[in-house]
Structure 1
Amino acid sequence: MENLIEVKATVEKSKVLLLVEGEKVEKELFQHFYYLYGIENVEIVAYKTHIYAFYNRLKKDYSDEEGNIDFEFIDLPLFLNDYLELDGADLLNEADFRDIILVFDFDPHDSQFDQNKLDILLDNFSDSTGRGKLYLNYPMIESFKNIESLEDPLFNKTTVHIDDLKKRYKGTSGYKQIVESTTCICNIEDIDTSIANALLKLHNNKLNYLLKNLSYEEESKYKLFCTVQCDKLEKESLIWVLNTSLLHMLEEYGYVK
């Protein structure tokens, strides 16, 4: 399969800041994808906890007189310097980053799950060249490999039940166990360019499939999809399996042919 990523011809001096939820899988996954496609100048920073804690910290640090988050005052690199207690060479500077990407899990089984908080974050983190752009993984990062084959004919219909997210097995979520027992991708390092292309295409096609009968502006696409997911969860206790964080590769660097 030919390379589906067409890297921009103009090399930018400034970097991309990629804020991810976890320190292990997310970092390993995106470092590997950037390596495959020859993408450099990306700084990956782990927030080390879930999106609802992220929202709560923003509210603590940036609340206005009404108790709402005043997003106009948020400088994400500066915020991360304080939250992660960075110093010296590790300090982040807004002037270094031309784009900011945020990657977190949907985590509907978390006790702090709140659609309103997700809507607020998706509304206000919708531009990678501004405050940043948020991508959610449904239900979590492992969704990138929740497939039985690279041409999985059932992927567009694949869901996970909320009860499987709540289950625990030897300290691991039931969903992760399901993925590991069925996936055709054993290790991230086994992903080559051909497999990466197939994954990007699968997830991009599924997003388009699930939104095909809905009207929306491009900048509100991910908020709309979150609403679709929350409706599915409320009515059927199911979540569509979809990894939107992979799609930032397409939107930032190229397109699916």
Structure 2
Amino acid sequence: MVAKSVLFVYEGEKTETQVHEVFERHYFSSKQTSIKVAFGAEIYQLWKRMASEEYLDVLEVLKERALINHDEIAPLKRGDVSEIYLFFDYDGHTSLSCDEDLGSMLDYFNEETGPGKLYISYPMVEAVKHINAVNDFLDTVFNIPDGKSYKKLVNDETDYMHLSKIKKSELDYVVLQNCKKANYLVQGDRAPPEYQTVISRLSQGQIFRAQLEKHILRSNQVSVLSGFPLFTVEYFGQDALTALYHGR
């Protein structure tokens, strides 16, 4: 029996691929069969295309695009893929951004074995390395209208300039800080969350609603948060989170 593939869909090609490679190197088994695809546009464009024909399957939408690895995607059928994960930016500064649409997307893309599971980075993918020893990451926010300057800001402030060189212990710290921040954002608790809390109270939809209520609508900001760390904890389960807490 041929093993099914896990499909990872990213907004962009360069940075997202680097992030995936780092997480893959430190956390994933080399035996896993995965396919990585860059959509090459914002999540709002993906949603517009899917909604135009009563929610097309995301795999079919990908096949329509001139992807770099189109030959790898073209023969795939939904039955060949066991799970679909989508990683996109909030991108609130762009002309196509729509909070109502994003809420609908998070409701729709909420099951990896179904239509797919969506993870959002606020404000964008570079949030994964927006951590340093000076500022408390839990309190780090960003002004949405300044989105075009975010990458430069991160490069100026990060302690992890070169993602490809990040150590396992450093990546563990990044994952843990993002879990704590999600807990603080949603529940007002600065402590590391228990695994059941991550699963039941820190969903991507709950995080978005907290962003909307506490930051986006109130001050036109987002609380800086990466989607990759929470995916990692949800994917690998309670043992992975326990290992992070014990520094293993």
Q: Is residue 19 of structure 1 aligned with residue 9 of structure 2?
A: yes
Which of residues 133, 143, 146 in structure 1 aligns to 2:127? 143
Q: Is the 8 A contact 1:126 1:219 kept in 2?
A: no
Cα offsets for 1:98-121 (capped at 9, x unmatched): 110001000111111111100110
Deviation at 1:162, TM superposition (A): 2.3
Q: Is the 8 A contact 2:10 2:39 kept in 1?
A: yes
Q: Is the 8 A contact 2:110 2:116 kept in 1?
A: yes
Which is richer in helix? 2
Output the CA distance in 2 between the equivalents of 1:175 and 1:26.
15
Which of residues 203, 207, 218 in structure 2 aligns to 1:235? 218
Paired residues, what number? 227
Look up the match of 1:123: 107
Output the CA distance in 1 between the equivalents of 2:3 and 2:60.
20
In structure 2, the residue corresponding to 1:242 is in which secondary structure? coil
Q: Is residue 197 of structure 1 aligned with residue 187 of structure 2?
A: no
In structure 2, the residue corresponding to 1:129 is in which secondary structure? coil
Deviation at 1:163, TM superposition (A): 3.8
Look up the match of 1:35: 25
Letter in 2 for 1:30: H
Cα offsets for 1:19-70 (capped at 9, x unmatched): 000010001110221122243312110000101111111122x2xxxxxxx3
Q: Which runs of 4+ in 1 moved over 6 A?
A: 214-217
Output the CA distance in 1 between the equivalents of 2:101 and 2:26.
35
Instruction: Return closer, same or farther for 1:220/1:123 CA change in 2, 3 Å cut-off.
Output: farther
- TM-score (ref. length: structure 1): 0.80
Deviation at 1:187, TM superposition (A): 0.6
Which of 182-191 and 79-88 deviates more?
79-88
Look up the match of 2:228: 245
Q: Is the 8 A contact 2:86 2:118 kept in 1?
A: yes
Look up the match of 2:241: 256
- TM-score (ref. length: structure 2): 0.83
Q: Is the 8 A contact 2:89 2:122 kept in 1?
A: yes
Q: Is the 8 A contact 1:204 1:247 kept in 2?
A: yes
Output the CA distance in 2 between the equivalents of 1:87 and 1:250.
30
Query: Where do residues 157-168 of structure 1 align in structure 2 (5 Å cutoff)?
Result: 157-165=139-147
Letter in 1 for 2:176: K
Output the CA distance in 2 between the equivalents of 1:106 and 1:210.
16
In structure 1, the residue corresponding to 2:204 is in which secondary structure? helix
Q: Is the 8 A contact 1:229 1:239 kept in 2?
A: yes
Gaps of 5+ in 2: 190-196, 243-248
In structure 1, the residue corresponding to 2:114 is in which secondary structure? coil
Output the CA distance in 2 between the equivalents of 1:117 and 1:77.
20
Instruction: Return closer, same or farther for 1:178/1:78 CA change in 2, 3 Å cut-off.
Output: same
Deviation at 1:220, TM superposition (A): 7.8
Output the CA distance in 2 between the equivalents of 1:31 and 1:249.
13
Look up the match of 1:102: 86
TM-align CA RMSD: 2.4
Look up the match of 1:188: 163
Gaps of 5+ in 1: 1-11, 63-69, 166-172
Letter in 1 for 2:65: Y
Identity across the alignment (%): 27
Look up the match of 2:246: none
Query: Where do residues 4-15 of structure 1 align in structure 2 (5 Å cutoff)?
Result: 13-15=3-5
Deviation at 1:180, TM superposition (A): 0.5
Output the CA distance in 1 between the equivalents of 2:87 and 2:216.
21
In structure 1, the residue corresponding to 2:103 is in which secondary structure? helix
